[in-house]
Amino acid sequence: MTHSQRQSLSYTEGRIINQIHAEWLPTILNGSLSEIYVVNCDTLRFEYINPAAINNLQYDITELQTMSPTCIAPTTDPAVYQTWLEALREGRAAPLLIKQLHTRKDGSSYPIECQLFYLSSSSGPVVIAIGEDVSLRDQSGKALRESESRLNAMVSNMPGLVYQCRLDDSGYFSFPYLSEGCEALLGMSPEVLHATPHLFLNLILAEDRQSYLDTMQASFTTLTTWNWEGRIWIQEWNDIKWINLRATPRALDNGAVQWEGLMTNITTSRLEQEEITRSRAQLAELSDHITNVKEKERTRISREIHDDLGGNLTAIKMALTLLTRRLPPDEKSLMEKADYVDQLVDRTIETVHRIAGDLRPGVLDFGLIAAIEWQSKEFEKQSGLPCLFSSNITDIDLEIDHATALFRIFQEALTNIAKHARASRVEVELTHTEAYVRLVITDNGRGIQTIDQEKSKSFGIRGMVERSIALGGSLSVSTAPKGGTIVAINVPLRVTAS
């Protein structure tokens, strides 16, 4: 093919394309959502405005044909239009991007961003402006800026460090975002920690580091909340802090996991918690000491009453018996008085035995099982309620203090049943294993409510709990499946064994 043939073919193709484009042009202009304006450069009048611009400006086409750009953008100085036109004519800007404010017929305004093109046509030079109403974009941008401002205000007032951290499947750890609270909490700026994230791991005390890594890996694997408490050492401040790290994970497309969360200083609360725990331990120790002193004093008083007072009363009874035998048979009044005194001495001896037994049952000297069995029978005689006792052994070798404490818990449980339960039957079971001693008291009464256990003067149950804690064990009070109450005491043998 010759050069002239190729030129002829190109000319023919160009005419066909121009015809096709001429057919497309009205559809393109009328269907475009962009605002399109054609402005005569000599008269600065609109030569063409597409339907999208007409609808937005609210003028009809005849009104717009008599108007110029300065009419719909009154806030733009006319001299500025000349500057833009000169720049387009001289080719210093092709196209030229401008932003201005258009005013509708009803007086409302909207921002528009236009690209200006200069075209020297056969009918005269024109400027073609293709614009987009950016009011929604500006509103979205404004809302985004306001949202960011609110977020920054909240983050800056957070009592801690707001952060993002990321762990990829290769094990690389990073901090994509760190709030300004980083320096106050960790003693380093966000920029430093962002550049060298491994410094955070170095801050964690060696004893707490493994738990940090374990909880992070568990959260990475299961995508569950990462919650960790541990200590960090700030060398510059010569200070150890307790911190709480809580973050929510989300999986990323590249296999990494990113957490967003909050890191706070919990040193004060941890120290307070430790102080409460220490005070609780001291209080329990003091309560145990007072209980032991009280039991020893009870034992001493019981023995003195039993031995001294009981012995004296026995001697009085013996002397009274001898005196009664020597009274003359005809002294009926004296005999009656002697019989009365003898009965009074008998009642006093019984009272002495009862008081001594209440202070410390002598049956404890025969072992805990014997004491519980005896107390069960006594309770049955005094209350009239059947009290069934069973045990998987016949004897337990316990220290006397621990046996006494278990026995006192048992006594208090029976007292509560007699006062409050309205039961018709009581079952007592003592179980001995290699690890623990378990005592369970079950009644079929009205049961116990949580509010009953939380009463301000509910010292009975609290005393039982304190005694069980002093033994290193635990006590639970619960509702039986068929109604009634179950009191269960578990005491580890490693604590109570002799």
CATH superfamily of 365-496: Histidine kinase-like ATPase, C-terminal domain (3.30.565.10)
Confidence of residue 105 (pLDDT cuts 50, 70, 90): very high
Q: Which of 81-90, 198-207, 370-379 has the lowest mean pLDDT?
A: 81-90
CATH 1.10.287: which residues of the chain?
Answer: 274-358
Neighbours of 73 (CB within 10 A): 19
CATH 3.30.565.10: which residues of the chain?
Answer: 365-496
CATH code, 274-358: 1.10.287
Beta bridge partners of 476: 488
CATH 3.30.450.20: which residues of the chain?
Answer: 13-138, 158-265
Average pLDDT score over residue span 79-100: 85
Average pLDDT score over residue span 154-178: 84
- pTM for the structure as a whole: 0.47
The larger pLDDT score, comparing residue 309 to residue 80, is at 80
Q: Tens of pLDDT along 117-134?
A: 988 877 788 899 999 998
Confidence of residue 10 (pLDDT cuts 50, 70, 90): very low
Confidence of residue 294 (pLDDT cuts 50, 70, 90): confident
**Kindly report the CA angle at 405 between 400 and 406, in degrees rounded to 5?**
100
Place of tokens 């709990």: 465
CA distance 229 to 266: 9
Per-residue confidence (pLDDT) for residue 5, from 0 to 100? 47
Q: At what angle do helices 332-359 and 310-326 cross, to 10 degrees?
A: 170
Percent of the chain with pLDDT over 70: 90
Is pLDDT above 90 for 301?
Answer: no
The answer to whether the CB of 123 falls within 8 A of the CB of 40 is no
- What's the chain's length in residues? 498
Is pLDDT above 60 for 210?
Answer: yes
> What strand order describes the sheet that includes 257-265?
173-178, 161-167, 257-265, 239-251, 226-234
Average pLDDT over all residues of the chain = 84
Confidence of residue 453 (pLDDT cuts 50, 70, 90): low
Q: Tens of pLDDT along 355-374?
A: 877 777 777 778 889 989 99
Per-residue confidence (pLDDT) for residue 3, from 0 to 100? 47
Is pLDDT above 70 for 17?
Answer: no
Average pLDDT score over residue span 405-410: 88
DSSP 3-state of 351: helix
CATH code, 13-138: 3.30.450.20
The answer to whether the CB of 373 falls within 8 A of the CB of 349 is no
Q: What is the domain class of 158-265 according to CATH?
A: alpha beta
Q: Tens of pLDDT along 42-51?
A: 888 898 999 9
